[in-house]
Chain A
């Protein structure tokens, strides 16, 4: 299974993870060693991001087709960490002009469908999106909502595949399979570096098992000496030749957000 033989340090990390896996009694025993290892890697990545509290950022989304046509959307994003459930997040759209002020609130959940609301300024109403199908493209882009929403560990089952080195980094390559039957994907392959457990690349496979998209992340910055955020996300669709680029800037942490900033009623005020 292991194509590139890991360096000694990685081996030590392996051993540690395996020991950890062996010690975790809560897991159902039916998991194989590689599944256990995959899960541990996902958990470790999640653990390393614990405690960031909240953050805010500005986001430019550039849609392109293979013939160079382009379209740009701009939005602002706020996220509030939850202790025992998925994060709450609020996205306010600034551009295109005709959707300016539209605000999208979502509560991700570890289990079950997420809750979503949209404030339509032209209607001056908040509408709950009562849909269990949320794997469609986000604002016509190559990102599905499920690609950019908070990646809760519980949303997938895992399998460790191999180690791989590129760009001077060693990576774990794990497979994760969506638990939600409505997901557009049969599986995903994720590359996380072995140092900081940051995701650098994700391959998305469609329902028939063909490679559909590749997400490449870059320009990671560290905040509060602990939390890593990538400023640049590139999603390429291999089947249609379209791509979408996400550029984040102005990351701010410790904004003191509270739950009441993330309610239906807060949406209209979000601006």
Chain B
């Protein structure tokens, strides 16, 4: 049987011989792959986070089919002098209202000025804009407007705050959902309008809403790409240069890393993948993982040159030593990322797939383009020192000498950290996905604090018969539900048609306050509605509250900012109340509730995904090491780190979001690399050199200890960069992964060797060949001069 080492040698020879061909060929292929990046679009719809069969999305879409959509932008107008009810500010609101009809895709505009104020005048029902031409309003008129606005349940706490210091203009959009730039187009126009109003009047304008949310996903991803990617370049250049002390090698590594990332994105483009904030973080992740591959190859290469090998021989040797391990670690990493396909959120499928593609591209380029470039470029090995290597030996001594202490210590430490895992609670509220560097977050916080809530729940109440909404019995239930909602602490505002019925009843009885109650006669109620509908202006119809056959109505509940636990709670309490007190079945739905359930949905899928990745990766390791025992043993240092990371996080922070469900599978694929390196060197020492387990541990430390430290540092650095993301899902995922990688390093250096020495005492016959590691003692000189 031909040993794999033979064909790697032949490949290495061929590569050196045909270096120009491989260099140009690999470059061309990579550029062809990268050219797909032009096809990549950015998905600007917050709905991208939910799969087609997500039950919360389905309920929400069902509701949107029945009523007008609730994609909106809420402008909050804050007068500089703190009083909305001045001619100047009301004029600003009028101007904003009128102009907002012209925003792209806008369908409806609601404000205190175009609010359809109804009152009786003799036998007439007057229906008119609450404010018209405010610039000429007298003090008295302003006072009247204020009284109406602050006491109208439709407006108070929604479009005007209690002290009349901030007012809102809510614009509803009907997005065709045909092209990717709809939200940014609408937002750009809205911002222009806001600026214009700020210039003309002494007010400040803040914006939030679902359209702003969609756009914020886009903007945070863009701002991440423009800040994190350059930092990543800096980190790569710094690390590579520190480790190899060679300008040409740094350039070669950078070329490979950037092309890996571009190939990943480009192939994603060909596959029709659309970017979203999670999947756009693939850029940073691919670069991080690609650095590790390049560093392995380059460091061995320079070590060879320092030992006196010619550059070409050093390349041959590096390929021979690294081809197997780099391939195996790339495959395990790819499997870890592919496990994200089990999640319910398509952006994470994309992240997993793009990264898996990028990781494999990095592998291919690291064993083609990188050695070919090095064969062509001038390169000189810098003198090395081995302080880090020496400290590895001391670490080995410590581990061998203090086995019991380490084992006990690890046990206590692990149990302590693991016991803190339950301190984590999952909170997914979309505002907190964004950090304060994002305008969306700042504006939304302002609006929540000063005007109204940003989170909404919608209940669709079905009367069960055509035109049943004007049935007094149904209206009574609707009002009771509204009253109950208004007593709930989370509830800020309730928008319901029952208020309109009561108001019309009053208006049609000569504005007699005692008639501010629901009409008792179904025909009367229906006729009020007809009369009212005939009086409403363009765009301000009842389609947002009633369905086509007037058999059901929508109650829109605005909530104070709250985490997903509270959101789920109030939504469920609402459903319960309806069931018990009204015999109606309705669920609170909406974007905020969709995000509130996103973690539950994803954790279910990711449990399976992580399990599949774990089984596949363990099988792969067991097969590569030709040892079931070590395959099983490797699970401990591979799985423990994610658990320890969650525990540490639980103790320190305690709040996680949906991204947490992705971490285990992904971290597993990454941290397994260290274990593979450690175990393969250990086994080789046992099998080929016939060392006992203690000696083999010492040997392993001195051969791959530094390499493992360096790789881990690179990975931690890369994920630490991603942890700076302005988008919470990315930063949460990155920071937990970085901690897991750090924990893995500790586990591989302390726990794993002790476990090996305790459990693997039986001497081995030095016969079996290894697939993945062909390390020779020369690798001892793997010396990155870090110390």
Question: Which single residue of chain B is at the shortest CB-CB distance from A98?
Answer: B526
Kindly state the separation between the CA atoms of A99 and B522 in the bound complex, as whole angstroms: 9
Check A135–B534 contact: CB distance below 8 A: no
With A129-B127, A130-B121, A136-B537 as given contacts, are A208 and B102 in contact (CB-CB < 8 Å)?
Answer: yes
With A99-B527, A208-B102 as given contacts, are A131 and B548 in contact (CB-CB < 8 Å)?
Answer: no
Number of interface residues of A (CB under 8 A): 51
Check A184–B121 contact: CB distance below 8 A: no
> A255 interface residue, CB < 8 Å from B?
no
Question: Which single residue of chain B is at the shortest CB-CB distance from A146?
Answer: B538
Kindly state the separation between the CA atoms of A48 and B535 in the bound complex, as whole angstroms: 32
A244 nearest CB across to chain B (Å): 10
> B540 interface residue, CB < 8 Å from A?
yes
B102 nearest CB across to chain A (Å): 4
Kindly state the separation between the CA atoms of A151 and B106 in the bound complex, as whole angstroms: 27
Chain A 34-68, CB within 8 Å of chain B: the 1/0 string?
A: 00000000000000000000000000000111110
Kindly state the separation between the CA atoms of A132 and B114 in the bound complex, as whole angstroms: 13
Check A96–B535 contact: CB distance below 8 A: no
Kindly state the separation between the CA atoms of A82 and B656 in the bound complex, as whole angstroms: 73
List residues of chain B with CB within 8 A of the CB of A93.
530
Check B128–A132 contact: CB distance below 8 A: yes
Check A121–B527 contact: CB distance below 8 A: yes
Check A70–B126 contact: CB distance below 8 A: no
Kindly state the separation between the CA atoms of A201 and B548 in the bound complex, as whole angstroms: 25
Q: Which B residues from 535 to 557 make CB contacts under 8 A with A?
A: 535-543, 546-550
Q: Which A residues from 117 to 145 make CB contacts under 8 A with B?
A: 118, 120-123, 125-140, 144-145
Chain A 175-208, CB within 8 Å of chain B: the 1/0 string?
A: 0000000111100000000000000000000111
> A239 interface residue, CB < 8 Å from B?
yes
> B630 interface residue, CB < 8 Å from A?
no
Check A133–B538 contact: CB distance below 8 A: yes
A55 nearest CB across to chain B (Å): 22
B107 nearest CB across to chain A (Å): 7
Kindly state the separation between the CA atoms of A121 and B522 in the bound complex, as whole angstroms: 12
With A98-B467, A242-B548 as given contacts, are A129 and B527 in contact (CB-CB < 8 Å)?
Answer: no
**Which of A70, A102, A126, A183 is within 8 Å of B123, CB to CB?**
A126
Of A64, A102, A137, A182, most B-chain CB atoms within 10 Å: A137
Interface residues on B, range: 35 or more
> B616 interface residue, CB < 8 Å from A?
no
> B524 interface residue, CB < 8 Å from A?
yes
Check B467–A129 contact: CB distance below 8 A: no
B535 nearest CB across to chain A (Å): 4
Check A122–B127 contact: CB distance below 8 A: no
Q: Which B residues from 141 to 195 make CB contacts under 8 A with A?
A: 174, 176
Kindly state the separation between the CA atoms of A68 and B660 in the bound complex, as whole angstroms: 42
Check B523–A130 contact: CB distance below 8 A: no
> A104 interface residue, CB < 8 Å from B?
yes
List residues of chain B with CB within 8 A of the CB of A127.
123-125, 508, 531
> B101 interface residue, CB < 8 Å from A?
yes
Q: Which B residues from 474 to 533 make CB contacts under 8 A with A?
A: 508, 521-528, 530-531, 533
List residues of chain A with CB within 8 A of the CB of B543.
137, 140, 240
Check A64–B548 contact: CB distance below 8 A: yes
> B65 interface residue, CB < 8 Å from A?
yes
Q: Which B residues from 372 to 425 make CB contacts under 8 A with A?
A: none
> B769 interface residue, CB < 8 Å from A?
no
List residues of chain A with CB within 8 A of the CB of B101.
206-208
Question: Which single residue of chain B is at the shortest CB-CB distance from A100?
Answer: B523
**Which of A102, A125, A132, A134 is within 8 Å of B530, CB to CB?**
A102
Kindly state the separation between the CA atoms of A240 and B177 in the bound complex, as whole angstroms: 12
Kindly state the separation between the CA atoms of A127 and B527 in the bound complex, as whole angstroms: 11
Mark B residues whose CB is within 8 Å of A. Answer: 65-66, 68, 101-104, 106-107, 116, 121, 123-129, 174, 176, 466-467, 470, 508, 521-528, 530-531, 533-543, 546-550
Q: Can you give 26 contacting A-B residue pairs, CB < 8 Å?
A: A65-B548, A69-B548, A69-B549, A98-B527, A116-B534, A118-B527, A121-B523, A127-B125, A127-B508, A129-B535, A131-B128, A131-B535, A132-B128, A133-B535, A133-B536, A136-B539, A136-B540, A137-B543, A138-B534, A139-B534, A140-B541, A140-B543, A140-B550, A184-B539, A208-B101, A210-B104
Assuming A96-B466, A123-B524, A131-B535, what are 11 further A-B pairs, CB within 8 angstroms?
A69-B66, A70-B548, A97-B467, A118-B527, A122-B524, A123-B508, A130-B124, A133-B127, A137-B533, A139-B533, A239-B176
Mark A residues whose CB is within 8 Å of B. Answer: 63-67, 69-71, 93, 96-99, 102, 104, 116, 118, 120-123, 125-140, 144-145, 182-185, 206-210, 239-240, 242
